[in-house]
């Protein structure tokens, strides 16, 4: 049974989705408990496999599907990098499944069983993408995740249709570029297995096709993770989506695309080849810096807090791409740690904003007036998440910025360091503005009324929404406190060679 | 916008043309793509799986996990289109929505001809499924032919007639059931002690000498998973057609 | 000329890729964008299939030997150079199915937008959204 844990991570949600379709079509009230149960099973398998991989010799667990040895069959490769991402994805999905009960009942009418089926299948696609060791299997699961996310985002109706159509067009371009890159690699190496390609490519010498394949793979993955200048689809698509959808999709989809980029960069190709033969480092660092600054400045200009958060996602992607392309092991450690930290921060923030929308109807600044008096627990969680975004110890945001700044300093990327610090400052301004409106009962343009001593009633969000918010906020602090364990036990053993 | 699109596509085209010298010649028998992994499949499929159609054996056995998720993609298309298009009283006031005028099809000529053709199409679809081990065919192709037979009935005799034969409850159930059959065969392999989708673990069911039984188990399990794929694809084809044609109302079509 | 003759299969694929990408980004009508998406995906499918062709070979279904009466392992001609590459064809079966599902999703969204805004042109819809 212990050997089957790696495949159970993907199988349990898949069977749960089928059960939700077959049972939930006739009894909609059972959909949400089934979803929570399935995602909990997947989370347990992910944690169990993560504990197992720590005890293996070379830090990799390989599972052969159909019992065919790779490269003739498909394999699942589980190591420290995707183990951490799998645990984060299943944990975030579990939290949102618990949280989603009330918003879905309010916003989605009779389509409850469809929503939960698509929800669990999206998580299945993301988990499968992360654990797969085969490049074409990754493409199929990428398309499952993409198709379910198109349907989930379009359920917002109204303005969501145009935003989702834009996402469909851009997402298809991204996935097709990825497929074209895999085709070029197949034509030169003859294999589809990631580890196998990694051993064949160094023997091919300076081949033009391999370089162009790298280009197409990178551009495809950058479109999927909304790196500047391909970020146009993200703000609109995530703002007009239903509440539970944006809580699920925003933390996860772009981060798993960052993981795919790391896999391609360091396990298919090697660090020596990227940083010495392909001289793109300065261009990509410049793009990352522009992404960080542009995301932060556009976030300052928004009146709708949900749209502000989506621009912050664009900035965070800039952090991660810049960290990976510095070419240092500290930078790569920072990027891997930031994948987990950012997933947890984003889910906490989106769930808080979702509660405000559920209670007050919209996420404009006006909805936050006196929020500290009416919704104290929810707003305290917002403060914790805000501290993590700014980078205050002991939350995890501080440690990821620490590693990223260290990596940038060692490789002399001073512009990137300055961009990171400016973006922290802008995050501080953004969150202090929200906290000020919530505390003093007036937006920044108005003057609070000094004679208004009315005590507002506490109208807190329901318990099914509050518990996941606080679990996410607590996990931010816990992840920060256990940073040394996470980095030494799982991240450092798998860092590839050839980095500074 | 058009100039930007022109610049981007010319850029992409020129990058691709630069790489052409490096690609192997068209029809080269010894290129890496033709010799590393696929030569193994051609050499060993007959003795390991007993199926001469190499495409079916690789699709359903060596890379069966991919095929399972491909079935999943079809299933997601059904659920996704249903989630977006289906009319729901709680989300909008159905009475007030304006509907375009309806021109029912006249079944005098096309309807009668279609009713003659549909049984032959369905028998051919089942033949394509069953003979997929020896001739071009298999689950996806058979599912499309069977779905097309129902769509032909819907186009010529009216969508409400076809929907009364294959109701919405049934095609949601069938698409889920097809995916469940595929995944269930894989799960049964796990119960018998093998990895997921390791059909040779089902050898005890076939009886006889173990090495021969393993090949037989792979041969038969491939047919079962193809049946699951056919169910899903057939209901998906008809579901997509009926949702798009009736714009979510599910009572009358084009 | 010799370069054209040697590479014309890849050149055709590249031309189709360019047409598809230009249509997806540059065209104003939503249905034309969907058509461009189809062209782009089909071009990639043709690229993979032409990658797997072998000169003088037949489809990848094993042929019986001359005068074989039984259907065992030794009655088939097993020679990889005589059969096309099956791996690329299988990958493309998956890609075709994925393309159909994506096209279905895109057309659904176009239908909903037409019902809501009454037009299929992107600039008119963006005007109405503001």
The DSSP string of A215-282 is: HHHHHHHHHHHT-TTSGGGHHHHHHSS-HHHHHHHHHHHHHHHHHHHHHIIIIIS-HHIIIIIS--HH
Which positions in chain C touch B23 (Cβ < 8 Å)?
7, 10
Question: What is the distance in angstroms between the Cα of A479 and the nearest Cα belonging to chain C?
Answer: 38
Look up residue A451 and give its DSSP letter. T
Q: Is A188 on the interface with C (CB under 8 A)?
A: no
Candidates B4, B58, B73; nearest CB to C98: B73
Higher per-residue confidence, B3 vs A158: B3
Query: Per CB distance under 8 Å, which residues of C are interface residues toward A?
Result: 17, 21, 24-25, 30, 33, 37, 40-41, 44, 47-48, 51, 87-88, 91, 94-95, 98, 101-102, 105-106, 108-110, 112-113, 116, 125-126, 129
Residue-level pLDDT at C56: 80
Higher per-residue confidence, B30 vs C85: C85
Decide yes or no: CATH 1.10.287.3510 for domain C2-54+81-129: yes
Domain ranges of chain A: 280-500
Residue-level pLDDT at B105: 79
Confidence band, pLDDT 50/70/90 cuts, at residue B254 = low
Residue-level pLDDT at A153: 94
Whether B76 and C101 have beta carbons less than 8 Å apart is answered as: yes
Q: Is the pLDDT of residue B167 over 90?
A: no
Residue-level pLDDT at B120: 96
Q: What is the pLDDT of residues B80-103, one digit of tens each?
A: 999 998 887 777 777 777 787 888
* Predicted complex ipTM: 0.95
Confidence band, pLDDT 50/70/90 cuts, at residue B180 = very high
| Contact criterion met (CB < 8 Å) for B12 and C18 | yes
Q: CA-to-CA distance for A79 and B31, rounded, in angstroms?
A: 33
Q: CA-to-CA distance for A58 and B139, rounded, in angstroms?
A: 41
| Contact criterion met (CB < 8 Å) for B172 and A15 | no
| Contact criterion met (CB < 8 Å) for A65 and B65 | yes
| Contact criterion met (CB < 8 Å) for C105 and A150 | yes
Mean pLDDT of chain C: 89
Q: What percent of chain C has pLDDT over 90?
A: 51
Residue-level pLDDT at B129: 93
- On the CB side of A174, how many CA atoms lie within 13 Å of its CA? 26
Residue-level pLDDT at B102: 82
Q: Is B22 on the interface with A (CB under 8 A)?
A: yes
Which positions in chain C touch B33 (Cβ < 8 Å)?
51-52, 85, 87-88
* Residue B101, Cβ density class (10 Å: 0-12 exposed, 13-18 middle, ≥19 buried): exposed
SS3 A132: strand
Residue-level pLDDT at A362: 82
Q: CA-to-CA distance for C7 and B127, rounded, in angstroms?
A: 40
| Contact criterion met (CB < 8 Å) for C109 and A165 | yes
Residue-level pLDDT at A110: 80
Candidates B23, B85, B135; nearest CB to C61: B135
Q: What is the pLDDT of residues A371-411, one digit of tens each?
A: 888 888 888 999 999 999 998 988 999 999 999 999 999 98
Q: Is the pLDDT of residue B184 over 90?
A: yes
Please enumerate, as own/partner, the contacts of A482-489 that have beta carbons within 8 Å and a separation of 24 or more.
Answer: A483/A337, A483/A396, A483/A399, A486/A84, A486/A337, A486/A340, A487/A333, A487/A337, A489/A54, A489/A80
Angle at C60 between CA C59 and CA C61, to 5 degrees: 95
pTM (2 d.p.): 0.95
Closest-approach residue (CA) in chain C for B52: C62
Domain ranges of chain C: 2-54+81-129
Please enumerate, as own/partner, the contacts of B43-48 that have beta carbons within 8 Å and a separation of 24 or more.
Answer: B43/C78, B43/C80, B45/C62, B46/C62, B46/C73, B46/C76, B46/C78, B47/B215, B47/C73, B48/B215, B48/B218
Q: Which of residues 92-121 of C touch B (CB under 8 A)?
A: 93-94, 97-98, 100-101, 104-105, 107-109, 111-112, 115
Neighbour subunits, C (≥3 Cβ pairs < 8 A): A, B
Q: Is the pLDDT of residue B23 over 70?
A: yes
Q: What is the average per-residue pLDDT within B72-87?
A: 92
Question: What is the distance in angstroms between the Cα of C1 and the nearest Cα belonging to chain A?
Answer: 22
Candidates B33, B70, B176; nearest CB to A187: B33
Closest-approach residue (CA) in chain B for A3: B195
Residue-level pLDDT at A238: 92
Which residues of chain A register pLDDT less than 50?
none
């Amino acid at each position: 049974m212990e050997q089957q844990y790696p495949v159970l991570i993907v199988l349990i949600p898949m069977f749960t989705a089928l059960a939700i379709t077959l049972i939930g079509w006739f009894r909609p009230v059972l959909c949400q408990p089934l979803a929570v149960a399935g995602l909990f099973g997947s989370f347990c398998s992910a944690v169990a496999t993560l504990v197992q991989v720590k005890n293996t010799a070379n830090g990799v667990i390989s599972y052969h599907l159909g019992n065919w040895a790779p490269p003739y069959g498909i394999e699942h490769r589980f190591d420290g990098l995707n183990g951490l991402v799998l645990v984060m994805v299943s944990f975030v999905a579990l939290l949102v499944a618990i949280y989603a009960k009330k918003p879905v009942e309010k916003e989605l009418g009779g389509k409850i069983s469809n929503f939960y089926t698509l929800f669990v299948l999206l998580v299945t696609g993301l988990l499968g993408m992360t654990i797969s060791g085969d490049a074409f299997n990754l493409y199929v699961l990428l398309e499952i995740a993409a198709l379910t996310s198109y349907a989930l985002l379009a359920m917002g109706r109204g303005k969501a249709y145009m935003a989702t159509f834009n996402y469909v067009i851009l997402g298809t371009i991204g996935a097709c570029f990825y497929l074209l890159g895999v085709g070029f690699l197949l034509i030169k190496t003859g294999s589809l297995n990631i580890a196998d390609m990694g051993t064949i490519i160094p023997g091919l010498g300076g081949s033009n096709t391999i370089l162009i394949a790298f280009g197409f793979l990178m551009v495809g993955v950058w479109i999927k993770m909304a790196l500047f200048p391909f970020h146009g689809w993200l703000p609109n698509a995530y703002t007009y989506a239903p509440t539970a959808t944006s809580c699920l999709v925003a933390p996860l989809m772009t981060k798993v695309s960052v993981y795919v980029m790391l896999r391609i960069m360091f396990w298919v190709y090697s660090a020596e080849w990227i940083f010495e033969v392909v001289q793109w480092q300065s261009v990509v660092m410049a793009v990352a810096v522009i992404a960080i600054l542009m995301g932060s400045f556009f976030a300052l200009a928004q009146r709708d807090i949900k749209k502000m958060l989506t621009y912050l996602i664009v900035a965070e992607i800039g952090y991660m791409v810049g960290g990976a392309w510095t070419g240092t092991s500290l930078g790569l450690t920072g990027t891997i740690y930031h994948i987990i930290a950012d997933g947890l921060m984003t889910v906490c923030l989106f769930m808080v904003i979702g509660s405000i929308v559920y209670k007050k109807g919209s996420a404009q600044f006006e909805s936050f007036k006196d929020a500290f008096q009416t919704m104290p627990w929810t707003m305290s969680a917002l403060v914790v998440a805000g501290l993590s975004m700014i980078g205050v110890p002991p939350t995890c945001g501080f440690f990821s910025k620490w590693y990223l700044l260290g990596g940038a300093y060692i490789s002399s990327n001073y512009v990137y360091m300055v961009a990171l610090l400016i973006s922290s400052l802008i995050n501080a301004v953004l969150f202090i503005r929200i906290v000020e409106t919530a505390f003093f009962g007036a937006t920044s343009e108005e003057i609070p009324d000094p004679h208004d001593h009315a005590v507002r009633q506490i109208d807190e969000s329901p318990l099914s929404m509050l518990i996941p918010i606080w679990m996410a906020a607590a996990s931010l602090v816990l992840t920060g406190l256990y940073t040394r364990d996470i980095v030494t036990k799982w991240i450092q053993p798998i860092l590839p060679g050839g980095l500074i | 916008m058009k100039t930007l699109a022109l610049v981007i596509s010319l850029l992409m085209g020129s990058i691709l043309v630069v790489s052409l010298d490096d690609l192997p010649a068209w029809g080269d028998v010894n290129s890496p793509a033709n010799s590393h992994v696929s030569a193994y499949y051609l050499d060993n499929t007959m003795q390991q799986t007993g199926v001469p159609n190499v495409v079916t054996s690789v699709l359903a056995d060596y890379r069966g996990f991919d095929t399972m998720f491909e079935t999943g993609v079809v299933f997601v298309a059904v659920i996704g289109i249903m989630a977006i298009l289906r009319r729901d009283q709680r989300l909008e006031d159905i009475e007030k929505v304006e509907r375009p005028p309806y021109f029912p099809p006249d079944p005098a000529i096309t309807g009668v001809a279609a009713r003659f053709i549909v049984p032959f199409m369905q028998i051919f679809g089942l033949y394509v499924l069953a003979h997929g081990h020896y001739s071009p065919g298999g689950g996806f192709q058979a599912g499309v032919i069977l779905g097309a037979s129902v769509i032909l009935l819907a186009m010529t005799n009216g969508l409400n007639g076809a929907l009364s034969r294959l109701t919405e409850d049934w095609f949601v159930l069938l698409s889920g059931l097809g995916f469940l059959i595929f995944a269930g065969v894989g799960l049964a392999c796990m119960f018998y002690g093998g990895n997921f989708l390791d059909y040779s673990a089902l050898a005890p069911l076939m009886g006889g000498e173990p090495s021969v039984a393993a090949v037989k188990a792979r041969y038969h399990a491939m047919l079962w998973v193809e049946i699951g794929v056919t169910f899903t694809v057939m209901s998906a084809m008809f579901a997509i057609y009926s949702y798009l044609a009736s714009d979510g109302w599910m009572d009358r079509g084009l | 000329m010799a370069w054209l003759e040697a590479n014309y299969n890849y050149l055709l694929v590249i031309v189709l890729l360019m047409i598809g990408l230009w249509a997806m980004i540059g065209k104003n009508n939503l249905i034309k964008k969907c058509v461009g998406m189809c062209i782009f995906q089909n071009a990639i499918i043709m690229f993979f299939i032409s990658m797997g062709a072998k000169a003088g070979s037949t489809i990848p279904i094993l042929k019986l030997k001359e005068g074989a009466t039984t259907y065992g392992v030794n009655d088939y001609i097993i020679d990889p150079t005589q059969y096309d590459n099956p791996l690329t064809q299988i990958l493309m079966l998956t890609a075709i199915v994925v393309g159909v599902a994506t096209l279905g999703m895109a057309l659904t969204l176009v239908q909903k937008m037409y019902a809501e805004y009454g037009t299929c042109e992107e600039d008119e819809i963006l005007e109405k959204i503001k």
